Amino acid sequence: MRPGTGLVDGLFKRKEPNLVTENGRHPEAVRQCLQQEALTYIDSLYRTAVRMTRNPSDAEDLVQETYLRALRSLDRFKPGTNLRAWLFKIMTNAFINEYRKRTRQPRNQSLDNVEEYYVYAHLIDSGVQPESRGPEEEVLASLTDDNVVAALESLSDEFRQVVLLADVEGFAYREIADILDIPIGTVMSRLHRSRRRLQRMLTGSLVEAQPYGDSAHE
């Protein structure tokens, strides 16, 4: 942040023509918008950061870095566009370009060799038959949060990101493509494979932890 551009200073400088952005909005006005709105996304950014970094302390650093970068790049934000998606894009770039290099985190295994079979079929083969057991919630309720987190964290960064953006944060394919700067087809392909992998992990732990053996079918 440049010195002397605090909120009050900025308001006094509002009429200076060289402070008007390409979007025709004064940076200070954009900054006030960010101040007012950006904090509403902090939970959403933080929970994604926790899952991306796998570490609450690193997640805090990443979120702070995201807001610092956002403030430095205000002239690139177009008012009226999706601030939440813009913040996620900044955070994703910070994670990929800075955080991962700095921490030299090993990438998790790629999904290239993930077996291509449907977990649902595997479940049935394993004796878990949601249909015969009533609501599927009953089966899935056996999963603990630890099971889910472990499965998520086993995904490579690239695959974990699409799951977090789509399944946790509810971004549309188009938005995810913009955030990650990848083609929409790649988003769909990564999502498809990540979800299969997740299911495999989750239902695998379910089958191992709670075998639906003899009594379940009596």
Question: Who's near 192: CB < 8 A, 6+ residues apart?
Answer: none
Question: Who's near 18: CB < 8 A, 6+ residues apart?
Answer: none
Query: How far, in Å, CA of 112 to CA of 121, rounded?
Result: 21
Residue 71 engages other proteins in binding (rule: CB under 8 A): yes
Residue 11 engages other proteins in binding (rule: CB under 8 A): no
Report DSSP letters for 19-66, one per residue: G--TTSS-HHHHHHHHHHHHGGGHHHHHHHHHHHHS-HHHHHHHHHHH
Cβ atoms < 10 Å from Cβ of 2 = 7
Q: Which residue of 30, 52, 58, 67 would you call a contact of other proteins, by CB under 8 A?
A: 67
For other proteins, the closer of residues 1 and 11 by Cβ is 1
- Closest separation in Å from C-beta 162 to other proteins: 11
Q: How many residues does the chain have?
A: 218
Query: Is 117 strand, coil or helix?
Result: coil
Query: How far, in Å, CA of 56 to CA of 47, rounded?
Result: 9
Stretch binding other proteins (CB under 8 A), from 15-23, 77-85, 101-109, 195-203: 195-203
Stretch binding other proteins (CB under 8 A), from 63-71, 73-81, 96-104, 106-114: 63-71
Q: Which residue of 30, 52, 63, 177 would you call a contact of other proteins, by CB under 8 A?
A: 63
Stretch binding other proteins (CB under 8 A), from 17-25, 74-82, 100-108, 159-167: 159-167
Question: Residue 60: left (phi > 0), alpha (psi -120 to 50), or beta?
Answer: alpha
Residue 114 engages other proteins in binding (rule: CB under 8 A): no
Stretch binding other proteins (CB under 8 A), from 18-26, 78-86, 98-106, 131-139: 131-139
What is the residue type of 60? Answer: E
- Closest separation in Å from C-beta 144 to other proteins: 9
For other proteins, the closer of residues 39 and 209 by Cβ is 39
Query: How far, in Å, CA of 85 to CA of 92, rounded?
Result: 10
- Residue numbers of the site for other proteins (CB under 8 A)? 1, 6-7, 31, 34-35, 38-39, 42-43, 45-47, 50-51, 56, 60, 63-64, 67-68, 71, 120, 123, 130-131, 136-137, 140, 143, 145, 148-149, 152, 163-164, 166-168, 172-173, 188, 191-192, 195, 198-199, 202-203
